[in-house]
Chain A
Amino acid sequence: MAATPGPAEANDMYFEDFRVGQSFQSPPHEVTEGALLQFAEVSGDKAPIHVDADYAAGTQFGQRLVHGPYGLARFFGALHDLHIVDSTVIGLLDTNWRYLKPVFVGDTLIFDITITRCRRTSARDRGVINRHVLLKRDDGTVVQEGTTAFMVQARTSADPSSDPSALDFCGPGWTKDLAARLGQDEEFVAATRSFDGTIGLQAGTVPTSLRIYKGAILEAAPKALLGPTFTVQASELVWAQLMTGPRNDFIPRTLRGEFSLTGSGYDYLRLTKALMRIWETAREMAGAPV
């Protein structure tokens, strides 16, 4: 009943082996007609757009559509093919998936997987790894995209607060370190000297806030009593890229709509320089070039 031992096991990754920004690419996978029909059988979704070629020829697509969830299912196949957690995986925790473009028989699919968060659980001997997944055709077009978390064994049992926090964006350790550095940063202090409010930051679903009065950070915590004056939010993937990329490219990312803003747009603009100091400081923490 034990997992078959084999050379693959030597490659298995434990919680401590994952790092935010790490990426994996699957080998290409060609979608065959046989796979489409088998998937229809297994899922029971035998809608004519999937299985009836004559019918599909008359639709806007002109051919049969591969089931959307086939792409998602193949992600787990691609992951298996990488043989990186065969013996260490504990379980799948969640999947948030978007179907952006149709997939057809004959398409060659590739998965780009980026690690976006690594957090040890309170059980200490295991951790949760978040992944951002892009499903692309071999011409680079993104056809499906999503995030999915899984639980993996840790090598050693340890207090979660002793794990590195420099890439745990908006987490408690990260926030504490950021606030300590910003408090010593003359430019940040000067840029917030006329500000009485709270800067909210959010990476994926993890929020944090910096309560500021006349250049002093009064509190750094997930929540402020009155809520943030404004909150700047982006996916964990965007945070990982901004914090580990070759340069601080916050501005082009805002132009591409990768960041969203809630709360006072006026105060957000007013604190442009303070925000730039936050990104630069967080990049320093992450070890990126500044």
Chain B
Amino acid sequence: MIESQYVDLGGSLAYVEAAGEGPAVLCIHTAGQSGVQWRHTLTGLAALGYRVIVPDLPGHGRSEPAVGGPVRDLGRYAEWCIDLIDELGLDRPYVMGCSIGGKISLDIATRISDRLSGVVAMAAEVNAPKPGGAAALDRGMEDASSPSRTDRTYYGTLAVCGRTVPAERVEMIAAMHRREDPIITTSDLIGWFSHDIRAGLANITCPTYLVVGDDDFWLDLDQVAWTGSQIQGARTLVLEGIGHYPMEEVDDFASVADGWLRTLAEDAARAR
């Protein structure tokens, strides 16, 4: 059964779903999207013996907007997630995220590694900020300068799903992704381009998995590898024929994720 609740975080209500019993896993969605991206993971991992927690980030899905307006700093999302971990009393959770969710997961680990069981950062790398990209996105905050926004989200999503994913599933992913608020998505992407936690990577001491699809043209595989090289003991995994959204693209993703979490647990046991 899926439990849902609204949690007051920083003066706005956050929508959070949870299912299952066992080690806690906090799942963080991608830019402009919502926890619905984890709907199959939520029930799948719960059935495999985890307590799965899926929030909608502020301004996304069923969560109220952040106080002060759309968030352009992924660090604020990281703080928000840590507040949620505290509020729900999660004990040494795993944190798993994709795209901005992956970057946020790594950011959380730079701050509270000692309180985490591990991190799975998918479709994420840590890089120098790209202010040029952020400036173009800033213009795109105006509807008037950003025509056919939903079409571009739709076709962009179709294109960035991996070559091995069946066409009907790709269509479903793209159709769901176009349900976004462009202001929120654009703010998230500004966060993606401007976030810089290079200096913090050395603080990550919990077991870490970096996962990237080789059809993900948004990511530079070399940069993912570099990110992995900066994190003590991190594992890097390239998924063949998968794109930017492994949790939506990969067949029976929950079982695959369960394998990664077990590996991280073994890494932690070895470290002790």
Contact of B159 among A246, A252, A266, A269 (CB under 8 A): A252
Can you name the residue of chain B whose Cβ is closest to the Cβ of A191? B151
**Is A272 a contact of B159 with CB atoms below 8 Å?**
no
Cα-based distance from A272 to B155 in the complex (angstroms): 9
Which of these, A246, A248, A270, contacts B163 with CB under 8 Å? A246
The complex places the Cα of A246 from the Cα of B215 at a distance, in Å, of 13
Instruction: State A273–B148 Cα separation when bound (angstroms).
Output: 8
A249 touches B159 (CB 8 A): yes
- Bound CA span A276–B163, Å: 18
**Could you tell me if B155 and A251 are in contact, using CB atoms closer than 8 angstroms?**
yes
Asked if A269 and B163 sit within 8 Å, CB to CB, the answer is no
A-B contact count (CB 8 A): 32
Minimum C-beta distance from A173 to chain B (A): 28
Q: Does A217 contact B (CB under 8 A)?
A: no
A249-279 residues with Cβ-Cβ distance < 8 A to B are 249-252, 255-256, 266, 269-273, 276
B5 at the interface (CB under 8 A from A): no
A165 vs chain B, min Cβ distance (A): 27
Verify if A98 is at the interface (C-beta below 8 Å from B): no
User: Do the beta carbons of A272 and B217 come within 8 Å of each other?
Assistant: no
Q: In the complex, what distance in Å separates the CA atom of A246 from the CA atom of B147?
A: 29
Complex contacts, B148 vs chain A, CB 8 Å: 269-273
- Interface bits B151-181 vs A (CB < 8 Å: 1, else 0): 1100110011001000000000000000000
Cα-based distance from A271 to B145 in the complex (angstroms): 14
| Residue of B with least CB distance to A248 | B159
Cα–Cα distance between A256 and B218 once the two chains are bound (Å): 10
Chain B contacts of A266 at CB under 8 A? 145, 147
Q: How far is the CB of A212 from chain B (nearest CB, A)?
A: 16
- Select one of B145, B151, B163 contacting A273, CB under 8 A: B151
Decide: A252 and B217 in contact? CB cutoff 8 A. yes
Q: Min CB distance, A108 to chain B, in Å?
A: 24
> Is A251's CB under 8 angstroms from B159's CB?
yes
Interface on chain B toward A: helix, strand, loop, or mixed SS? helix
Interface set, chain A 150-191, CB cutoff 8 A to B: none
Q: How far does the alpha carbon of A270 sit from the alpha carbon of B217 in the complex, in Å? A: 23
Does the CB pair A269–B217 fall under 8 Å? no
CA distance A252 to B162 in the complex (A): 12
Whether B146 sits at the interface, judged by CB under 8 Å, is yes
**Would you give the shortest CB distance from A117 to chain B, in whole angstroms?**
26
CB pair B147–A255 under 8 Å, yes or no, is no
User: Does A214 sit within 8 A of B, measured CB to CB?
Assistant: no
| Cβ-based interface call for A247 (8 A) | yes
Nearest residue in A to B156 (C-beta to C-beta)?
A251
Minimal beta-carbon separation of B261 from chain A (angstroms): 31
Q: A252 to chain B: which residues have CB within 8 Å?
A: 159-160, 217
**For B152, what are the chain A residues with a Cβ–Cβ distance below 8 Å?**
269, 272
A270: which of B147, B155, B160 is its contact (CB, 8 Å)? B147
A255-B151 CB under 8 A given contacts A247-B163, A249-B159? no
CB contacts (< 8 Å) of A249 on chain B: these are 159
**Interface pair B151/A272, CB less than 8 Å apart:** yes
CB-CB under 8 A for A269 and B146, given A247-B163, A252-B217, A255-B217: yes
Please give, as numbers and ranges, the residues of chain B lying within 8 Å of A276 by CB-CB distance.
Answer: 151, 155
Q: How far is the CB of A260 from chain B (nearest CB, A)?
A: 16
State the Cβ distance, A79 to closest chain B Cβ, in Å. Answer: 33
Write the B31-59 contact mask toward A (1 if CB under 8 angstroms, else 0). 00000000000000000000000000000
Known: A247-B163, A251-B156, A269-B152; 5 extra A-B contacts, CB below 8 A, are A248-B159, A251-B159, A269-B148, A270-B148, A273-B155
What residues of chain B have their CB less than 8 Å away from a CB belonging to chain A?
145-148, 151-152, 155-156, 159-160, 163, 217
6 contacts between A and B (CB under 8 A): A248-B159, A252-B160, A270-B147, A272-B148, A273-B148, A273-B155
